[in-house]
A and B are shown apart, each in its own frame.
Chain A
Amino acid sequence: MKIACFHLMPYRDLDSDFDKKYNSAWFTLPFEDVADREMVSKYYNWTLDELIFAAESGFDGVCTNEHHQNAYGFMVNPNMMGSVLARATRGTNTAIIQMGETAVFLNPPIRVAEEYAMLDSISEGRLVAGFPVGLGGDYAYSYGMAPVEQRGRYREAHDLIVKAWNSKKPFAWNGKYYQLPMVNIWPKPSQKENPPIWVPGNASPSTWDFVIEHDYSYCYLTYFGAQGAKHMVQGYWDKVEEAGRDKNPYRMTYLIPVGVSETDAQAEADYGEHIEYFYHKLLHMPQELLLPPGHMTHSSLTHVLTKKPFPAYDELNNLHYKEFNDRDYLVTGSAETVTQRLTEIVKELRVGHLLLLPQFGSMPHNKAMENIERISKGVLPHLRGIWDDEGWEDKWWPAGSSASEKKKKAA
């Protein structure tokens, strides 16, 4: 299997009482009140250092994402990060996983087709092209577009981008949301068959249908634990089977925060405060900011409100390290314990691509680096072969990362 290092790039040093003064860590939190510009410079560079170190230490890929106007993670253009990472890992197999630049935030969205193609060229074919629908609040509040149109724009932007990559000749695009007289992007992606497309989601069946129809890899980005994910993920695999697709585990990507300590007993002292900062402070956001009216389709809204498949963010304040760890919201412990628990999760959910989050919440740079090293040495080698006996090919791994002549630097 493939294991990549994901980073959110949070603001790591918010005052402990900021959530009493401000009703959200997202969208409305004033930068000038709570943030320090010098620290922000450090965060960007630490984030890059941590990801580059992960690549050097043996992770198969590095992964960045896009969000706006918040302390949770503010890589407003993940391709700027990806570009640095692509160059820093030149000559290796490290996949550059963008999860991703969000097409509907941009007008015209072919900007994503262009930037991904450029990044695929710089990385010599190591790009994974993430296609997020985008967070409702980012789209509606930060970028000022009507929530009810987000999904329609997403579908159209996707079709436009894929056509822009594959069309042999310039073409005109007359869509509902976008009109362009001559689409003829320069460059095209380095990977001739297109960069592999991964679609992140939060268990919305309409996203599953989209992923399966196009034969993409689905990334389940939940923060509510592998135990709670079991039922949801089974729903995805059932749909895969119904559609007549194979059970290739690389159709499934899963994200989880991980902390490796010397011993199990040491884990709470090492990671407890950082994961509580993550859940209590960085996810401090009222529901109406997370989900602007109209963001969800009528049927999804009905499902979410009547079935309550995940808790409201504010309820997370009632949980602490022990519950987070017990419920697999994160996995911590000795390398042996983490290996064993991740193996169970991977097999249970049938995960081919595992995205690990070794820096979370308030975790400082040195501790993040230690954690990356412990994971690389003590965990990764024991996970990699999990699916070998089933003999699946990873159709969603970039061509430039599979080339046999390249070696991992750390190898």
Chain B
Amino acid sequence: MHKLKQQVVPVLGDKLEITVNVAGKGKPIVFFHSAGGFYWDDFLDGLADNYTVYAPFFPGTAPGKPDELEQLDNLWDAVLAYDDLMDGLGLDEATVIGHSFGGLLACEIAAQRREKINKLVLIAPIGLWKESDPYTVADWCALSYDAILDVLFYDKNKPRALKRMMRPEADSEEAALWDRDFIWTIGCTAKLVWPIPDKGLKKRIHRVTADSLIVWGENDKLIPPTYANDFKQRIVNSEVFTLSECSHEPPIEQTEKLYAKVSEFLTA
């Protein structure tokens, strides 16, 4: 396991500081976490063997800094904050990877910071919407902990899934704080996409010029896998990669296959 360092980068004219987890060595990858918050998994750890991985906390979700969320009013603020962040990190050329909610952010940044993003990996991103496959934030915000597990994972009892969602023993103060962090993180990320994550990406996605890999779990119970094709149709240089026995958490559920595919894509 790589050792994580934290770097704090001022953005938005110093009104906000973004806390970034950094590990590894090599060309830069910026990773945007899902609505469930930052989690250093084996997929990211593998990437850090060959790349420098920058994984920012979404503002408000970094430990001890809940008030930072107030500096972001909408998706546009977030895109500009991350644009500033990548300037602040000195990333004139970078790969961007985003998962779910982070996939929307990654795609928006690739549409905004076009020439400075060389590759884009979208893992089950939100951001497009069609009547035939509707989804809303309530699909993850209005669920109990147990119900969320059933949706996120194809098999919630696999060791990596258990580890990711391991909650301290019930009725302890630790469990209450774990719940607090989980609920708060979902609440922070939901600010940008409530109630339906269709916030205009469809009007900007054509600007993405980076070579793009769109990854989806074949059994995704949260965001329907049919959206993979909708992203592919709108991004010029893109391909789709689907994973079997996998719901909404490819980095947790199909770590090796995802890692192998992404490594190949990044070196191609």
A27 partner residues in chain B, CB cutoff 8 A: 142
Please name the residue on chain A nearest to B35 by beta carbon: A293
Interface residue A146 (Cβ < 8 Å from any Cβ of B): yes
Please name the residue on chain B nearest to A302 by beta carbon: B180
Please name the residue on chain B nearest to A295 by beta carbon: B187
With contacts A148-B69, A302-B177, A305-B179 taken as known, whether A294 is within 8 angstroms of B191 at the C-beta atoms is yes
Our pick among B73, B138, B188, B195 for the contact of A294 (Cβ within 8 Å) is B188
0/1 per residue, A283-303, Cβ < 8 Å to B? 000111100111100100110
Q: How far does the alpha carbon of A294 sit from the alpha carbon of B187 in the complex, in Å?
A: 4
Our pick among B177, B188, B195 for the contact of A140 (Cβ within 8 Å) is B195
- Tell me if A293 and B187 are in contact (CB < 8 A): yes
Interface residue B186 (Cβ < 8 Å from any Cβ of A): yes
With contacts A141-B138, A286-B144 taken as known, whether A148 is within 8 angstroms of B187 at the C-beta atoms is yes
With contacts A289-B142, A294-B187 taken as known, whether A301 is within 8 angstroms of B195 at the C-beta atoms is no
- Tell me if B190 and A293 are in contact (CB < 8 A): yes
CB of B35 to closest CB in A, whole Å: 9
Interface residue B143 (Cβ < 8 Å from any Cβ of A): yes
Our pick among B176, B180, B187 for the contact of A147 (Cβ within 8 Å) is B187
- Tell me if A144 and B142 are in contact (CB < 8 A): no
0/1 per residue, A58-77, Cβ < 8 Å to B? 00000000000000000000
B184 partner residues in chain A, CB cutoff 8 A: 293-294, 298, 301
Q: How far does the alpha carbon of A288 sit from the alpha carbon of B143 in the complex, in Å?
A: 6
B173 partner residues in chain A, CB cutoff 8 A: 306
B190 partner residues in chain A, CB cutoff 8 A: 146-148, 293-294
0/1 per residue, B187-198, Cβ < 8 Å to A? 110110011000
A306 partner residues in chain B, CB cutoff 8 A: 173, 176-177, 180
Interface residue A49 (Cβ < 8 Å from any Cβ of B): no
0/1 per residue, B20-40, Cβ < 8 Å to A? 000000000000000000000
CB of A291 to closest CB in B, whole Å: 8
Q: Is the interface of B mostly helix, strand, loop or mixed?
A: helix
- Tell me if B142 and A288 are in contact (CB < 8 A): yes
Please name the residue on chain A nearest to B194 by beta carbon: A146
Interface residue A135 (Cβ < 8 Å from any Cβ of B): no
Count A-B contacts at CB 8 Å: 67
Please name the residue on chain A nearest to B192 by beta carbon: A146
A288 partner residues in chain B, CB cutoff 8 A: 141-144
Interface residue B183 (Cβ < 8 Å from any Cβ of A): yes
Q: How far does the alpha carbon of A146 sit from the alpha carbon of B67 in the complex, in Å?
A: 16
With contacts A140-B194, A141-B138 taken as known, whether A148 is within 8 angstroms of B179 at the C-beta atoms is no
Interface residue A192 (Cβ < 8 Å from any Cβ of B): no
CB of B240 to closest CB in A, whole Å: 31
Interface residue B88 (Cβ < 8 Å from any Cβ of A): no
B73 partner residues in chain A, CB cutoff 8 A: 176
Interface residue B66 (Cβ < 8 Å from any Cβ of A): yes
What total of chain A residues lie within 8 Å of the partner, measured CB to CB? 23
With contacts A305-B179, A305-B180 taken as known, whether A298 is within 8 angstroms of B144 at the C-beta atoms is no
Q: How far does the alpha carbon of A207 sit from the alpha carbon of B183 in the complex, in Å?
A: 22
A287 partner residues in chain B, CB cutoff 8 A: 144
In chain A, residues 238-276, which have Cβ atoms closer than 8 Å to a Cβ of chain B? none
Q: How far does the alpha carbon of A294 sit from the alpha carbon of B142 in the complex, in Å?
A: 12
CB of B266 to closest CB in A, whole Å: 34
Q: How far does the alpha carbon of A141 sit from the alpha carbon of B137 in the complex, in Å?
A: 9
Our pick among B142, B191, B195 for the contact of A148 (Cβ within 8 Å) is B191
- Tell me if B194 and A145 are in contact (CB < 8 A): yes
Please name the residue on chain B nearest to A147 by beta carbon: B187
CB of A147 to closest CB in B, whole Å: 6
B176 partner residues in chain A, CB cutoff 8 A: 302, 305-306
0/1 per residue, A118-161, Cβ < 8 Å to B? 00000000000000000000001100111111000000000000
- Tell me if A305 and B177 are in contact (CB < 8 A): yes
CB of A312 to closest CB in B, whole Å: 11
A141 partner residues in chain B, CB cutoff 8 A: 138, 142, 195
- Tell me if B194 and A147 are in contact (CB < 8 A): yes
CB of B167 to closest CB in A, whole Å: 12
- Tell me if A292 and B141 are in contact (CB < 8 A): yes
Q: How far does the alpha carbon of A292 sit from the alpha carbon of B143 in the complex, in Å?
A: 9
Q: How far does the alpha carbon of A27 sit from the alpha carbon of B195 in the complex, in Å?
A: 14
Please name the residue on chain A nearest to B148 by beta carbon: A288
CB of B122 to closest CB in A, whole Å: 23
A145 partner residues in chain B, CB cutoff 8 A: 194-195
Q: How far does the alpha carbon of A286 sit from the alpha carbon of B73 in the complex, in Å?
A: 29
Q: How far does the alpha carbon of A145 sit from the alpha carbon of B191 in the complex, in Å?
A: 9
Q: How far does the alpha carbon of A288 sit from the alpha carbon of B148 in the complex, in Å?
A: 11
In chain B, residues 153-188, which have Cβ atoms closer than 8 Å to a Cβ of chain A? 173, 176-177, 179-180, 183-184, 186-188
A149 partner residues in chain B, CB cutoff 8 A: 191
Please name the residue on chain B nearest to A291 by beta carbon: B183
Q: How far does the alpha carbon of A141 sit from the alpha carbon of B136 in the complex, in Å?
A: 10
CB of B68 to closest CB in A, whole Å: 11
CB of B76 to closest CB in A, whole Å: 15
CB of A137 to closest CB in B, whole Å: 8
Q: How far does the alpha carbon of A288 sit from the alpha carbon of B144 in the complex, in Å?
A: 6
In chain B, residues 221-236, which have Cβ atoms closer than 8 Å to a Cβ of chain A? none
> Chain A CB within 10 Å — which of B73, B190, B194 has the most?
B194
B180 partner residues in chain A, CB cutoff 8 A: 298, 301-302, 305-306
Q: How far does the alpha carbon of A306 sit from the alpha carbon of B172 in the complex, in Å?
A: 8
B195 partner residues in chain A, CB cutoff 8 A: 140-141, 144-146
- Tell me if B142 and A298 are in contact (CB < 8 A): no
B194 partner residues in chain A, CB cutoff 8 A: 140, 144-147
Q: How far does the alpha carbon of A294 sit from the alpha carbon of B191 in the complex, in Å?
A: 8
B142 partner residues in chain A, CB cutoff 8 A: 27, 141, 288-289, 292
CB of B96 to closest CB in A, whole Å: 25
- Tell me if B144 and A293 are in contact (CB < 8 A): no
Given A140-B194, A176-B73, 7 other A-B residues pairs in contact with their CB atoms under 8 A: A141-B195, A147-B187, A147-B194, A148-B187, A148-B191, A293-B141, A301-B183
Q: 8 closest A-B pairs (Cβ-Cβ)?
A: A294-B187, A293-B187, A146-B194, A298-B66, A293-B186, A305-B176, A144-B195, A306-B176
